[in-house]
Amino acid sequence: MNYTISDVAGMFNLSVHTLRYYDKEGLLPFISRDKSGNRVFTALDLDWVALICCLKNTGMPIKDIKQYCDWAKEGSITGEIRKDLFKKHRTTVLKQIEDLKKNLELIDMKISFYENPENVQLMDKLACKVAAETMFP
């Protein structure tokens, strides 16, 4: 079963422009074409696109993803270096999760601040609005 560029765009919530941009940047170094030059995506290609989206959505810059693609094209000789890349990237993703969890705590504190009517009362009593804003329990 094959897919057109707009099928794939729909599946991954990307625009066809974006997919063509990724192709141009070398992130899809394998997509074949039909006889009229249109891109043809196979089921296997979808897994690749999923991986590219994974890397992009975890904050890897396009040029680093491109580097990975270039390594992938070279075959097993770059196996170790690619493993290292994923391991390093793994720690950055863990860090992102930790950072988000810390930020979530602050957001939760703000919500509980606003949920206490006394705090909201206090807001206008203080000369500096920001004082009320930053006075956490």
Partner DNA sequence: TTAGCATCTCGAGCTAACTCTAAGTCAAGA
Partner DNA sequence: TCTTGACTTAGAGTTAGCTCGAGATGCTAA
Q: Which of 6, 15, 18, 96 binds a copy of itself (CB under 8 A)?
A: 96
Give 120's contacts (C-beta < 8 A, 6+ positions apart): 114
Alpha-helix runs per DSSP H in 13-78: 16-24, 43-57, 62-73
Binding flag, residue 120, a copy of itself (CB under 8 A):
yes
Instruction: Give the nearest distance from C-beta 49 to DNA in angstroms.
Output: 12
Q: What angle do CA 107, 110, 116 make, to 5 degrees?
A: 145
| 114 contacts: CB under 8 Å, gap ≥ 6 | 120
The CB-based long-range contact list for 72-77 (8 Å cut-off, 24+ gap) reads: 72/29, 73/29
- In the block, tokens 């930020």 appear at 103
With H, G, I as helix, E, B as strand and everything else as coil, classify residue 42: strand
State the DSSP code for 26.
T
Give me the residues that bind DNA (CB under 7 A), please.
4-7, 15-18, 20-21, 24, 33, 35-39, 56, 61-63
Nearer to DNA by Cβ, of 25 and 84: the residue is 25
Contact with a copy of itself (CB under 8 A): which of 6, 15, 18, 58?
58
Based on the shown chain and the rule CB under 8 A, indicate whether residue 2 belongs to the binding site for a copy of itself. Answer: no
Q: Which of DNA, a copy of itself, none binds 134 (CB below 5-8 Å, type-dependent)?
A: a copy of itself
From the list a copy of itself, DNA, none, partner contacted by residue 106 (C-beta under 5 to 8 A by kind): a copy of itself
Contacting residues toward a copy of itself, per CB under 8 A? 29-30, 44-45, 47-48, 50-51, 54, 57-58, 72-76, 79-80, 82-83, 86-87, 89-90, 93-94, 96-97, 99-101, 103-104, 106-108, 110-111, 114-115, 120-121, 123-124, 128-131, 133-134, 136
